[in-house]
Structure 1
């Protein structure tokens, strides 16, 4: 104890005379990890590493509203700029939805891209378009929320690699590999594999949420870029079809992919602590570098209690701090893992474009008819 006392209060000299050491406190105050309560500490962490939300459905909801103002606040939706700021959200992916069995898939997707552009342009003090990790950081440094396009559904390609390239030119960053003949329960067809290669060449990231087990396994083997599961939790805790088994989570971790846990009651459970249980489990199985967050707000899904909209993110981080998550793992969860996936996809794309020309093959050439 004396050694510790001397280390904390070293004796110094002024004018050759030793200073008197402070008296020893026989009943020192207990040491705490932080000088503030967990919620305050959560907000401090999010100041430097805000939430990158992997899935939002706001564009689809806004299609049906005659008027809205996201800057002042909009009661008709879950997501607006005041709630994004309160929740310390730094980036959000806006999904480009396709209704079940929708026709005109390309046109519906383009209409939503046009709507996103209009919405972002109408709210320049709160929102900024982004495509890359660097642009996300620029938006954060300017006090704006970065808005990225995706995921879009695979039917939006209309079985055309040219359409994929056009969508990428318009800003698409994530494509869900499900709902088509070339990404089905049977897995990826030969054309599906060519789609993944072209996505790698462009820097469009594969989303495996909702994909079949065969498609997940083949894509993890084939893709050179990190993949995302934009709305998947742990199947071991809740047997939802879009959740991932422990085997899949471990494979995702080995592939440096990211599982983005959705804040939906049907996939994670009815409460905030249920969401935290899934985050604990995925962190343990896939590793802290393979877990992130997806609000899935403005969708028909019910949200866990205490997580009704994006403003509640600090409360979820508070729960993780109480469970002993170190700051480093929380910053991976909220910000760094998605940034790494974007950077990895862009780095691979730059290298691939030097080696590989744009693919012009058709589904008929590879899969027949």
Structure 2
């Protein structure tokens, strides 16, 4: 009887061995590899609404961690952020005055944290801030109304540190005609000054006219792919193709409304822009502290390593990732500065 029981047990064991094994789970993206990459190529975030968020607070401290905002200093460091474009929130009833107040606020915030933040007016200053362990702050974009339909006001804002202006809803960029004569003068003056032209949300006629006439690269500071999401701020494929030819930059946002509710949705938009416009034309923006709802896993800048890990898992090579995070923003800043220097040389001759 014991022999029979041993035989039954042996048969059971053999049967268990013969069962097909469960399919192996696909490997998960490696966040450590992503963090290592971000240590070498930090994120230059193309659109952050922190000035407007701080303006609404009675008191704040970004150093120990400020729960009232999404982009305090600990979270920026944990997420591998090396530079930020700080968008200015201006009041529609007093756009010029409120822009001046926001510029003053940015100066105050940066000066309050000199060991962590550094104001940058150029690509070289952005790189210098990174080399010294600071997060570079580039001021802009501001809405077109901030310039008050005045070339003189535009020049004054540039002198105070503004480095990007959005053309969406500008009275001199009507939706049916592209640019008025004043609009063309404003774009030429931005080229001469060294100010980024932001085409996010601009009418197609405006966007293509600016792409045709601008001597400097232009940017979409928070635009996904219209082919994947019909949000009006998102860029259709023909605009992405034109942006590639102009050596501009599309910064894909971490925004439920623009890209979708999941981290993979943001990665899908990055894949699409890279496929249509090339790796030299795609970048990142968090849209943090703008009031937007963010995809799961990207609720604040600490989610950037997970997003980069997802892209690594999708086969993005390190050269493309280095352009996405840091290189493309630096290239565009340098291109804008080169155009401005060339224009000033022509004016002197």
TM-score, normalized by the shorter chain, greater than 0.5: yes
* CA–CA separation in structure 2 for the residues paired with 1:97 and 1:86: 26
Q: Which one of the candidate residues 119, 136, 153 is aligned to 2:126? A: 136
Structure 1: gaps (5+ residues): 1-35, 358-369
Q: How does 1:1-369 map to 2 (within 5 A)?
A: 38-99=30-91, 102-186=92-176, 187-356=178-347
- Deviation string, structure 1 residues 181-236 (Cα, Å, up to 9, x no partner): 20121211111011000110000010000111111010000101000000000000
Q: Secondary structure at the match of 1:243?
A: coil
How far 1:356 sits from its partner (Å)? 3.0
* CA–CA separation in structure 2 for the residues paired with 1:356 and 1:163: 20
Structure 2: gaps (5+ residues): 1-27
* CA–CA separation in structure 1 for the residues paired with 2:134 and 2:65: 15
* CA–CA separation in structure 2 for the residues paired with 1:281 and 1:178: 24
* CA–CA separation in structure 2 for the residues paired with 1:127 and 1:306: 26
Change (3 A) 1:37 1:55: closer
How far 1:37 sits from its partner (Å)? 7.0
How far 1:266 sits from its partner (Å)? 0.5
Point out the structure with the larger helix share: 2
Post-superposition, which runs of at least 4 consecutive aligned residues in structure 1 deviate over 4 A? none
Q: Is 1:201–1:356's contact at 8 Å kept on the other side of the alignment?
A: no
Taking structure 1 as the reference length, what is the TM-score of the superposition? Answer: 0.85
* CA–CA separation in structure 1 for the residues paired with 2:174 and 2:65: 40
- Deviation string, structure 1 residues 125-164 (Cα, Å, up to 9, x no partner): 2111111111111111111100110001111111110111
Q: Is 1:59–1:112's contact at 8 Å kept on the other side of the alignment?
A: yes
* CA–CA separation in structure 2 for the residues paired with 1:181 and 1:141: 41
Calculate the aligned-residue CA RMSD, in Å: 1.2
- Deviation string, structure 1 residues 44-71 (Cα, Å, up to 9, x no partner): 1111110000000010011111111101
* CA–CA separation in structure 2 for the residues paired with 1:253 and 1:38: 31
Matched positions, count:
320
